[in-house]
Amino acid sequence: MTYELITVRTEADKVGIITLNRPKQLNALNEQLMTELGTALHAFDADPAIGCMIITGSEKAFAAGADIGSMASYSFANVYKDDFITRNWEKIRSVRKPVIAAVSGFALGGGCELAMMCDFIIAADNARFGQPEIKLGIIPGAGGTQRLPRAVGKAKAMDLALTGRMMDALEAERSGLVSRVVPLDKLMDETLGAALMISEFSQMAVMAVKESVNRAFEGTLNDGIMFERRLFHALFATSDQKEGMDAFVNKRKAVFTHQ
Ligand code: HXC
């Protein structure tokens, strides 16, 4: 598959790296880019050698939002009938292996929402996050009013979505939106380190962590605890559990076969 608006590569045959590549438009997200992104993510997800994925952008912008130019003239009938634009974006949620967002520069509007659809965010110190849709007479449309309050709480989510202001990387880390902040020139090393570490673990255990943590945001505590317990028990049916525990007991490094 050839891509025009993203570039795709692998690291050590274990990590799939997708770089958003519309630099002149600060990686504004249009249909084509999101289709390419969905296709690339699912291709990596289906590749047994790949254990983790990274989505990143340029130094200046992870993504400055949905493409305003292409939205400007749309009517309600256009966007409602086509389920614009997020129909396409929902595909990202069905990726089962972990996806890390490596964010430098602007992550605004749909760009912030895309980062939040990933499993966690590692930010460069120049990263800036925001939901500025209010300034355009609209509201976030790809989960911003739902995932942002879950990540940073109601007060800050309201502040950001109602004023359209940006928050810097340190505020984003303080408020729980990002898991780590690193100097810009260390962003890819740090993210690759995390991704390579994840890709060494049992894929089944890794996917179970992702499913179970996501469940924490979707139901009651009681349901979540039951769900986690069932997955926990199920992993005792895998060879990787035997390998992991045997390696610990015998003081050697575990080699997981994802069986
Ligand atoms: C289309 C965009 C764009 C966007 C920037 N550009 N953001 N084009 N859609 N979202 C383009 C500019 O028009 C400009 O093109 C070029 O990228 C560089 O941008 P500048 O504004 O010149 O750069 P700068 O002064 O550094 O300002 C950066 C910025 C600003 C603060 C990020 O560009 C900005 O505010 N952008 C819009 C952010 C936004 O409102 N995002 C939310 C979109 S709505 P030219 O051709 O002039 O050089 C949204 C809804 C999601 O995301 C709904 C669900 C999917």
Q: Which helix (H) or strand (E) holds 164?
A: none
132 C-alpha vs ligand 1 centroid, how far in Å?
A: 10
246 C-alpha vs ligand 1 centroid, how far in Å?
A: 53
Which residue among the candidates 61, 102, 113, 115 is catalytic per the annotation?
Answer: 113
Pocket of ligand 1 (CB under 6 A): 25-26, 28, 64-69, 85-86, 106, 108-110, 132-133, 136, 141-142
User: Rounded mean pLDDT of 233-257?
Assistant: 95
**Terminal alpha carbon distance of the chain:** 29
pLDDT at 157 over 80: yes
Q: Cβ(147)–Cβ(90) under 8 Å?
A: no
Q: Ligand 1, residues 5, 24, 62, 68: which to mutate, most atoms within 8 A of Cβ? A: 68
User: Rounded mean pLDDT of 123-129?
Assistant: 98
User: Could you tell me the maximum CA-CA distance found in the chain, to the nearest angstrom?
Assistant: 65
99 C-alpha vs ligand 1 centroid, how far in Å?
A: 25
Q: 3-class secondary structure for 111-144?
A: HHHHHHHCCEEEEECCCEEECHHHHHCCCCCCCH
39 C-alpha vs ligand 1 centroid, how far in Å?
A: 25
pLDDT class of 238 with cuts at 50, 70, 90:
very high
Cβ count within 10 A of residue 187: 23
User: What's the pTM?
Assistant: 0.96
Q: Which helix (H) or strand (E) holds 15?
A: strand 15-20
Q: Has 218 been annotated as catalytic? A: no
Protein residue closest via CA to atom 25 of ligand 1: 26
ipTM: 0.98
67 C-alpha vs ligand 1 centroid, how far in Å?
A: 8
Which residue among the candidates 36, 133, 173, 190 is catalytic per the annotation?
Answer: 133
Q: Has 110 been annotated as catalytic? A: yes
Which residue among the candidates 61, 63, 64, 66 is catalytic per the annotation?
Answer: 66
pLDDT at 85 over 90: no
Instruction: Tell me what pLDDT residue 83 has.
Output: 84
* Neighbouring residues of 249: CB distance < 8 A, sequence distance ≥ 6: none
User: Rounded mean pLDDT of 139-157?
Assistant: 95
Instruction: Tell me what pLDDT residue 1 has.
Output: 80
pLDDT class of 93 with cuts at 50, 70, 90:
confident
Determine the Cα–Cα distance for residues 36 and 90; give it in Å rounded to an integer: 13
Q: Cβ(209)–Cβ(235) under 8 Å?
A: no
User: Rounded mean pLDDT of 125-139?
Assistant: 96
Q: From 142, 97, 138, 140, select the one nearest 117 (Cα to Cα).
A: 142
Here the tokens at position 235 are 């992993």
